[in-house]
Amino acid sequence: MNCKELAYMLADYCNGSMDPRLREELDFLWRVERPQVTRAVQEAAAQGDRSENAEYIYGKKQLREIDRRVRFLRKRLEGMVVVARPPDDTSRVYFGAWVKIEDDEGHETELRIVGPDEIDPARRYVSMDSPLARALIKNPPILILDDAFSSVDVETEEQILRELKQFMRGRTTLLISHRISTVRDADTIVYLRNGAIIEQGTHAELLAQRGAYFSLYRRQRLEREVAALVLEEGQR
């Protein structure tokens, strides 16, 4: 089983409150919103030339988005496993549990492990597919994080890594990433290219060599600086 298949398997679970919410959304989309948009598209089409009819074009786009969401919800609900109660053994971390974790500075954070449809940062709901939740649930002797932070920004990645640090203590952790920010605190960094080891050492040692790792570090730092400037300009 590859990582993508595992992610889909884990994503089949949800807490008891999620199933009716998804069914209500599906019912609203199919019985209320889609008929309304369909009527609007038909009325716009009756006005004549469709190629320059903004209402017709926008309505067709809405229909495609609604149909895409409807297909997703039907497939999601068909394979969904509703977890309505905790397991008999609650001594270990389980799906739906509230967990209190502490970082290196002694700050405590309480979070709940939920399904991917239930993620809510404001309520501290984290997906069971996330690296942190997988580490909490499985508590493995060897922790493997294969490009686990590619879909989040650097700030979110740093927060997740801080929360994961206590689980990395006393166990072997293998971090696989294209981002230097992910691996810079590792005891040993192995730089691979086309399956071959190019450089190896700590972050400081590799920067001092001013080789391939140094070039990648400098390029990624420049990319972050440019992205920050673009964001700053966009907020003005």
Q: Is residue 31 part of a domain?
A: yes
Q: Can you say whether residue 111 is alpha, beta or left, with left for phi > 0 and alpha for psi between -120 and 50 degrees?
A: beta
* Residue 49: per-residue pLDDT: 72
* Residue 21: per-residue pLDDT: 80
* Residue 209: per-residue pLDDT: 95
* Residue 149: per-residue pLDDT: 66
- Please, what are the averages of pLDDT over each run of 10 residues along the chain (236 residues)? 38 68 90 94 84 85 94 82 72 76 71 79 78 74 74 70 72 86 90 93 95 94 82 70
At 189, which amino acid appears? I
For the segment 21-41, what is each residue's pLDDT rounded down to a tens digit?
A: 888 999 999 999 999 999 999
Could you give the CA distance from residue 187 to residue 214 in angstroms, rounded to a whole number? 17
* Residue 27: per-residue pLDDT: 95
Classified as helix, coil or strand, 221 is helix
The CATH number for 73's domain is 1.10.287.180
Classified as helix, coil or strand, 49 is coil
Q: Is residue 147 part of a domain?
A: no
CB under 8 Å to 23, separation ≥6 — which residues?
77
Q: Is residue 218 part of a domain?
A: no
Q: Is residue 229 part of a domain?
A: no
Q: Is residue 94 part of a domain?
A: no
- Count, residues in the chain: 236
Q: Is residue 35 part of a domain?
A: yes
* 8 Å CB contact between 17 and 84: no
DSSP secondary structure letter of residue 118 = G
- Record the pTM: 0.50
Q: Which two three-digit tokens encode residue 165?
A: 């640090």
* Residue 2: per-residue pLDDT: 37
* Residue 223: per-residue pLDDT: 87
Q: Strand pairing partners for 15?
A: 83
Q: Is residue 40 part of a domain?
A: yes
Measured in degrees and rounded to the nearest 5, phi and psi for residue 211 equal: -105, -140
Could you give the CA distance from residue 214 to residue 219 in angstroms, rounded to a whole number? 9
* 8 Å CB contact between 107 and 163: no
Classified as helix, coil or strand, 164 is helix
* Residue 7: per-residue pLDDT: 39
For the segment 107-119, what is each residue's pLDDT rounded down to a tens digit?
A: 777 888 887 777 7
* Residue 12: per-residue pLDDT: 65
Domain count, the chain: 1
* Residue 231: per-residue pLDDT: 72
Classified as helix, coil or strand, 214 is helix
**Pairing assessment for the beta strands 125-127 and 142-146 based on DSSP bridges:** unpaired
| Boundaries of domain holding 67 | 19-81
Could you give the CA distance from residue 71 to residue 99 in angstroms, rounded to a whole number? 34
